[in-house]
Amino acid sequence: MTATLRLLAAEFETALGADSVITDRQRLRTYECDGLAHHRVVPAIVVLPETAEQTATVVKACATARVPFVARGSGTGLSGGALPHAEGVLIVTSRMRRILEVDPANERAVVEPGVINLDVTRAAAPHGYYFAPDPSSQQVCSVGGNVAENSGGAHCLKYGFTTNHVLGVEVVTPDGELVWFGGTTHDAPGYDLLGAFVGSEGTLGITTKIVVRLLRAPEAVRCLLAAFPGVDEAGTAVSSIISDGVVPAAIEMMDALAIEAAEAAVQCGYPQGAGAVLIVELDGPAAEVEHTFGAVEQRCTEAGAFEIRIARDDAERALFWKGRKSAFAAVGRISPDYIVQDGVIPRTVLPAVLRKITELACGTGVRVANVFHAGDGNLHPLVLFDDAIPGEAQAAEEVSGAILDLCISHGGSITGEHGVGMDKSQYMPRMFTDDDLDTMQRLRCAFDPAGVSNPGKVFPTPRLCGEVPGRHKAPHPLQAAGLAEQF
Ligand SMILES: Cc1cc2nc3c(=O)[nH]c(=O)nc-3n(C[C@H](O)[C@H](O)[C@H](O)COP(=O)(O)OP(=O)(O)OC[C@H]3O[C@@H](n4cnc5c(N)ncnc54)[C@H](O)[C@@H]3O)c2cc1C
């Protein structure tokens, strides 16, 4: 550890207490990766602040010493966003788990960033409310992580992503100042800094309090599981349900390989012989749900569903969801290694893109299981490989990249909800021009001119603030001073 980092660790121990600072190499390894486990970096120091003020103290010290820092919630991110910096500080929010206020009358709650997503709904449920963003990881992921990634989930088709459910955030800026963006009202004058912060993946500072919107729990919920011969028919059903004017709370699709994995893992008992299943859930006023449910069933039948099961109660509904919610982990039953890809396409091109993914898989011999939020065209191809077999990991990476190219060429995007992080920064130039990326960098530099907040994420070739693309005759002053490097 460098002398600067040793001094920082001592400063943190004085300010936060020794049990809030980790420098022991073995203990540091707990934090070496997030959900993207094939990338690992051991941080130099981990700190576990308990308050916003302690977080600000840590960030200010990092800023003064020009030491990079990375925020971490529960570490379930799938794009390497919380991957530590080897010469930096990892700031973990797991001791900031207080739900500070539940205010049903104003339909909002105030929470600390380490609060687990599902705990917000648990706290709001006795009042008849819930927190709508529901990533499949909601039993473990943090609200701070949800804000940073602008996370989605099965029910975001109807209710929108995290950004639609955050009214305000208290933020420690990268120079250690505590500020608020947004607040308790639904709109604020001036630039939408809250909008810029949500989804910024820890590059604009660390959120320490979040005002979330609560929604009234729906009067009725109905769910069906429809089995189709293949993904083409299921994709057609998705388009036809939505073009009917029905916006289900969720429409999720799994293909044959994903079903095989889920059956092996949790025995969800989906219809035999299905090439694809759709789970469609409707919620809202009972009369409306009743009316539209019939239309959904009809569209599924017209598109070729050979079996439709309707959940009779909550237990059966949970069983439908069990296969879907366990699908990522379940793939471990049929393949030793896999990449969870995340891309978006307009839902109208779902059948065409899924066909092309199948062609890609057949042409390369790499197996791809598809399980995804079909209603909003958010694909999650799971690209299977065995790392022990030479060349398989490389082939899987190539197929994974080719799938993103398919998404872009069909009018979509390289990520739907898992963020860019470290993993996808290399793909940013496939979607954005140099000018686009430069504009984003300028925004980032307005918050973080020294580039200390989660450096190396989101941008493919981080430029120093104020730099223009192209050849440079002399090193930037920060480079010359050995405070930053360019690569
Ligand atoms: C099995 C599984 C299923 C998943 N399903 C979904 C899904 O359906 N939808 C979905 O969107 N995602 C999903 N994810 C991805 C992941 O759970 C989400 O991205 C989640 O929001 C990350 O939260 P976290 O607390 O684990 O964040 P982390 O992984 O700890 O961090 C994620 C990013 O947020 C930043 N960050 C964390 N806390 C803060 C803070 N307080 N201030 C500023 N930046 C911060 C980190 O620096 C990092 O860039 C899934 C992951 C798994 C493992």
Minimal-distance CA residue to ligand 1 atom 5: 136
Taking the centre of ligand 1 as the mean of its atom positions, its distance from the CA of residue 144, in whole angstroms, is: 8
Task: Answer whether CATH 3.30.465.10 is correct for domain 99-216.
Answer: yes
The mean pLDDT value for 318-341 works out to: 88
Give the atom of ligand 1 at the shortest distance from the alpha carbon of 147: 21
| Distance in Å, CA 273 to ligand 1 centroid | 35
Give the model's confidence band at 466: pLDDT under 50 very low, under 70 low, under 90 confident, else very high.
low
Q: Which residues line ligand 1 (CB under 6 A)?
A: 34-35, 70-78, 81-82, 93, 113, 135-137, 141-142, 144-146, 148-149, 151-153, 201-202, 206-207, 328-329, 417-418, 454
pLDDT at 70: 98
More confident residue, 279 or 462: 279
Q: What is the pLDDT of residues 153-165, one digit of tens each?
A: 888 889 999 999 9
**Residue 60 confidence (pLDDT):** 98
- pLDDT for 154: 87
pLDDT given at position 38? 81
Structure tokens at 413: 């995007």
Please report, for the chain, the start and end positions of each structural domain, with discontinuous segments joined by +: 3-92, 99-216, 218-331, 335-423, 427-480
Closest atom of ligand 1 relative to the 146 alpha carbon:
21
Query: What are the tens digits of pLDDT across the range 199-237?
Result: 999 999 999 999 999 999 999 999 999 999 999 999 899
- Across the range 23-49, mean pLDDT stands at 94
CA of 422 to the centre of ligand 1 (A): 13
Whole-number Å distance, alpha carbon 417 to ligand 1 midpoint, is 9
Could you give the angle at which helices 256-266 and 314-325 cross, rounded to 10 degrees?
110
Q: For residue 276, list its beta bridge partners.
A: 228, 255
pLDDT band, residue 481 (cuts 50/70/90): low
Q: Which residue has the least CA distance to atom 37 on ligand 1?
A: 145
CB 338 within 8 A of CB 374: no
Longest dimension (CA), the chain: 71
- Give 338 Cα–ligand 1 centroid separation in angstroms: 19
CA angle, residues 342, 29, 325, in degrees to nearest 5: 35
Residue 270 pLDDT greater than 60, yes or no = yes
For residues 151 and 164, what is the distance between their CA atoms, to the nearest angstrom? 11
* Residue 473 confidence (pLDDT) above 60: no
Query: Which pLDDT score is estimated for 185?
Result: 74
Q: Does domain 218-331 correspond to CATH entry 3.30.70.2190? A: yes
Model pLDDT, residue 484: 55
Which residue out of 59, 62, 90, 136 has the highest number of ligand 1 atoms within 8 Å of its CB and is therefore the one to mutate? 136
Average pLDDT, the chain: 91
Per-residue pLDDT, 138: 93
Look at residue 474 and tell me whether its pLDDT is greater than 70.
no
pLDDT at 188 over 80: no
Is the predicted pLDDT of residue 431 greater than 60, yes or no? Answer: yes
Q: Which atom of ligand 1 is nearest to the CA of 138?
A: 17
Same fold for the pair 218-331 and 335-423: yes
Residue 477's Cβ-count burial label (10 Å; 0-12, 13-18, 19+) is exposed
- Ligand 1 centroid–CA 94 distance in Å is 13
| Number of separate helices (H) and strands (E) present in the chain | 17, 20
Residue 479: pLDDT over 60: no
Task: Please give the C-alpha separations between residue 387 and each of 342, 383, 390, in angstroms, as whole numbers.
Answer: 21, 12, 7
The pLDDT of residue 472 is above 60: no
pLDDT greater than 50 at residue 487: no
**Cα(342) to centroid of ligand 1, in Å?**
13
For the CA of 93, the closest atom of ligand 1 is 41
Give dist(CA 83, CA 70) in Å, integer: 8
- Tell me, what's the pLDDT at 482? 62
Token pair of 306 as six digits:
């050979």
Average pLDDT over residues 19-42: 94
CATH of range 335-423; options 2.60.130.10, 3.30.70.2740, 3.30.70.260, 3.40.50.1360:
3.30.70.2740
Separation CA 350–CA 327 (nearest Å): 20
Give the pLDDT score at 470.
39
Q: What is the pLDDT of residues 60-74, one digit of tens each?
A: 999 999 999 999 999
Q: Distance, CA 369 to ligand 1 centroid (Å)?
A: 22
Site to substitute for ligand 1 among 116, 141, 453, most atoms within 8 A of C-beta: 141
* pLDDT tens per residue, range 295-319: 999 999 999 999 999 999 999 999 9
- Tell me the pTM: 0.91
Task: Give 416 Cα–ligand 1 centroid separation in angstroms.
Answer: 13
Q: What's the pLDDT score for residue 476?
A: 54
- Hey, whose CA ends up nearest to atom 42 of ligand 1? 206
pLDDT number for residue 475 = 53
Name the residue at shortest CA distance from atom 8 of ligand 1: 135
- CATH architecture of the domain formed by 3-92: 2-Layer Sandwich (3.30)
Residue 226 — φ and ψ, nearest 5°?
-115, 135
> 396 C-alpha to center of ligand 1: Å?
23
Section 29-38 average pLDDT:
92
